[in-house]
Amino acid sequence: MSEPPAVVALVDAREQRDDAYRAIGRYTVEFSLLVAGMREIIAVHIADEQKRDAAQLVLGSLMAQQVADPFFAICRAVGELDQDEQAIERLLRKRVNEEIEERNRIMHGDWLIARWTREDFKAPTAARVRVSARNVKEPVQQRNFTVAEIDEICERVAALKNHVWEFGTICTKQWVHAPDSGRPEERVRDALHIVEGRVAYRLGDRQVPWPPH
């Protein structure tokens, strides 16, 4: 006589699941603000106030890379960047391009997030699976994330968003960087520098809020 099937006790993972949903949603918002900031700076630079909405309509149909490329091209063209500032531009551009690729992985991958788990098995909080028939060596790729790891990625994008906004508004002399606003005109190197391979604010300098008030 066969033995009865083993009964496996399941543990409710709803709280863990909802926290993972929150973190992934936060990434979506932070990335969208990064692109929106570049788009806004371009629109203000190329169109006067009466034509600003029309410029936004054109820019709004572009994908992230199609916004980033002209954004940095405009900054290089009008920013009068010295060697140190050119290095900041290259690094920011590299980071934005990398983040666009990461966004594609996050948004176009399949997320596996457990609703229930076993007491004797700790399932990953969130697993991102990407399937690519073109990838001969590894057509199916899985990366497991904790919520803390996703939040860390969100913090990285939030910092990049602020650095890009600061860089762009200085290069194009917009808003708080315009002399007629009562604030002296600045150079990129006055607000940003490179520390250990990363763009950072200079200590003691304020951060330009996004969006501007």
| More confident site: 116 or 51 | 51
Please tell me the least confidently modeled range out of 15-24, 37-46, 77-86: 15-24
In the three-class reduction of DSSP (H, G, I as helix; E, B as strand; rest coil), residue 110 is classed as strand
Can you say how many angstroms the Cα of residue 132 is from the centroid of all Cα atoms in its chain? 24
Q: Which two tokens stand for residue 144?
A: 């497991």
pLDDT of residue 162: 93
Alpha-helix residue ranges (DSSP H) falling in 79-138:
83-108
In the three-class reduction of DSSP (H, G, I as helix; E, B as strand; rest coil), residue 9 is classed as coil
pLDDT, tens digit, 9 for 90 and up, residues 111-150: 988 777 776 666 667 889 888 888 878 888 888 898 899 9
pLDDT of residue 179: 56
Whether 207 contacts 201, CB under 8 Å? yes
Tell me how far apart the alpha carbons of residues 199 and 151 are, in angstroms, rounded to a whole number. Answer: 20
pLDDT, tens digit, 9 for 90 and up, residues 148-199: 999 999 999 999 999 999 999 999 988 655 555 555 567 899 889 999 999 9
Residue ranges per structural domain of the chain: 10-201
pLDDT, tens digit, 9 for 90 and up, residues 193-208: 999 999 988 865 444 4
The answer to whether the peptide bond before residue 5 is cis (omega within 30 degrees of 0) is: no
Mean pLDDT of 70-80: 96
Please tell me the least confidently modeled range out of 19-33, 88-102, 119-133: 119-133
Rounded to two decimals, the pTM is 0.83
Tell me how far apart the alpha carbons of residues 202 and 194 are, in angstroms, rounded to a whole number. Answer: 9
